[in-house]
Amino acid sequence: MLLNSMFWKKYHNLIIVSLLALIFFLATSSFNYLTQDKDYVKWSSPDETANYFFTKRFSQTGQLAFFDSANLIGDNLIMPRSVRSDAGSIKPVSFLGIILIYGSLAAIFGTPIIPYLTPFFAALGLIFFFLIIRRLFSERIALWSAFLLAFFPVYIYYTVRSMFHNVLFVAMLLAGLYVLSLALGRRETPAPSRKFLSWSLSGRAWLELLAAFSGGFLIGLAAITRTSELLWLAPALFLIWLFYCRRWGISKLFLSIAGFILAFIPVAYYNEILYNSFWHGGYNEMNRSLDDIAQNSSVLWQFTWTGQFGYYRHYLGRIFHQIFYFGFNYPQSMAMFRHYVQDMFSLLFNAGSVGLFILIIQNGRRFQKKYLAYILAWIFSSALLVFYYGSWKFNDNPDLTHFTIGNSYTRYWLPLYLGLMPLAALALVRLSRAIFLLARENGPRWRGFIATGLQAAAVLAYASLSLLFVLYGSEEGLAYLYYNNRAEKLNTEKVWSLTEPSAIIITRYYDKFFWPERRVIMGTIPDGEVLRAAVKLVKFYPLYYYNFYLNDADVSYLDERKLNVYGLSLKLVQKTNAKFGLYKLENSQIYETP
């Protein structure tokens, strides 16, 4: 009994967070369980659709690309979004990490687990987040930080939409950072650099070396999941290392780098197979940027070696331009920061700002190294994330005037939000204790209970507001997404029933639902490129057009003014719902391609 009491006293917060993680996993997994069936696993985004398809293919065959001979006829247009066709070879346009990690696990445990892997890793991320913040601040702040993350709308939303990369990246990063923190060891323990090859090392020293390697490997898994995040992650890790380089030592640095490289080997292997380069991926713009950065960096080194520093400005400008290859737009970045941080999550932002102020005041005379490393790394990373992604324009929501949780800024800025949470928890704990004068060393015990109750009430209010927001806060809320997915299931199955398995469907919006059960071409009629491919394909494949419903006059106009030029005609098959119709494209005359 005494042993159980001591165990609970020592580990009760970790037990609470573990139960929280289990509830989080069950709750977020339920969405895909309720919206998908054994024979119908579909997603709300082309990125998710492509990631799921290639993950499943890799788990079953060990391969990624596949050949579609129809693309040799159809000018490489027969593909959905988020994939590419190279001479008929269909390949992912994505970072390969999520495909390789989930595909490897699905090969062992079966493909039905794929939709539930992100909820699983997100739940583990909650535990690692608690463990990191506990080492950095305190048990109480770590506990409330874990609750803030568990109920954070963006973390819930992109866990549910489980074939996006971002939550897996964050979970792997949190695991890697915690394991790397274990490699630091105790402050009084010297780094075992000089005894790296000696068997006289203590058991603790060997565990620290193992932690250094494992932490580097986990950070590598995060990096292959979203390689573009190395833009801010690598400098941030280097900044943290500068604070702890003496305790880290050469041997741990070598092992962590070795673990990081090991995680990249499978990606490099498949990059070579798919894209003919170890360093290239599916994004052509990024490939060109990497090549240009490498070329300009080598030229910059030559100028440095020869002392020709006058060329620095030009080549540094070229490198800056390639890093910000979508442009650098300060006003837009600040506007997006205001919409998606200050306004959308004002409670978290304001509480985090208060917590940062308290932390600075408490460390005014002499900043503790761990806090300084944390604040500097977080501010640097957040600034780079804001300006890098804030300079882009994302149109995830068709209504450009709406700033909703489904827009890409929220998932790209997850690290920024996470950095605010321990500061918000710090503000909550400090202010609640200040209210009841807990700064006095021997205050009455009931004050502590009341302060804890106040903290719990504040977190409960935050959780309630967050759940309402993620479920009903916009047209992209999970409640609406659930009903939309069920409706789209009926619509998709209807189109499948009206078309042959060998059919090709031209569509702009429904590629994510029809593919891969049906081949698709992304586009609309009367797009000339699409029609030039269609006139070739209609001789060999059933060809359909699925888009907004057209009345008889519109169909006649297209037939007479647009399609007749290509020897094609359009015939209504069925109006599938209130807005959309399925049409069949047929040859109207013998015709040679112009």
Determine the Cα–Cα distance for residues 512 and 594; give it in Å rounded to an integer: 31
Please tell me the predicted confidence (pLDDT) of residue 315: 53
Phi, psi of 85 (to 5 degrees): -120, 120
Please tell me the predicted confidence (pLDDT) of residue 592: 45
* 538 and 588 Cβ atoms separated by less than 8 Å: no
Report which of 170, 216, 231 is spatially closest to residue 415, judged by C-alpha positions.
Answer: 170
The one-letter amino acid at 45: S
Please tell me the predicted confidence (pLDDT) of residue 530: 93
Long-range CB contacts (within 8 A, 24+) of 319-324: 319/293, 322/289, 322/292, 322/293, 322/296, 323/231, 323/289, 323/293, 323/388, 324/387, 324/388, 324/391
- The whole-number average pLDDT for the span 190-198 is 48
DSSP structure string for 354-410: HHHHHHHHHTSSS--HHHHHHHHHHHHHHHHHHHHHHTS---SSS-TT---TTSHHH
Count CB-CB contacts under 10 A for residue 63: 11
**Entry field: residues in the chain:** 594
pLDDT: is 287 or 509 the higher one? 509
pLDDT: is 290 or 493 the higher one? 493
- pLDDT more than 70, % of the chain: 82
pLDDT: is 435 or 280 the higher one? 435
Count CB-CB contacts under 10 A for residue 300: 17
Is the pLDDT assigned to residue 96 strictly greater than 90?
A: yes
Q: pLDDT tier at 161 (50, 70, 90 boundaries)?
A: very high
- The whole-number average pLDDT for the span 164-169 is 96
Angle at the Cα of 252 from the Cα atoms of 241 and 383, rounded to 5 degrees: 25
Q: What is the 3-state secondary structure (H, E, C) of 161-174?
A: CCCCCHHHHHHHHH
Q: pLDDT tier at 69 (50, 70, 90 boundaries)?
A: very high
Is the pLDDT assigned to residue 43 strictly greater than 80?
A: yes
Q: 94 is written with which tokens?
A: 């994505």
pLDDT digits (tens, 9 = 90+) for 396-435: 565 666 788 888 899 999 999 999 999 999 999 998 877 7
Q: pLDDT tier at 322 (50, 70, 90 boundaries)?
A: low
Q: pLDDT tier at 534 (50, 70, 90 boundaries)?
A: very high
Report which of 212, 204, 220 is spatially closest to residue 181, judged by C-alpha positions.
Answer: 212
pLDDT digits (tens, 9 = 90+) for 293-311: 555 555 555 555 555 555 5
Count CB-CB contacts under 10 A for residue 343: 11
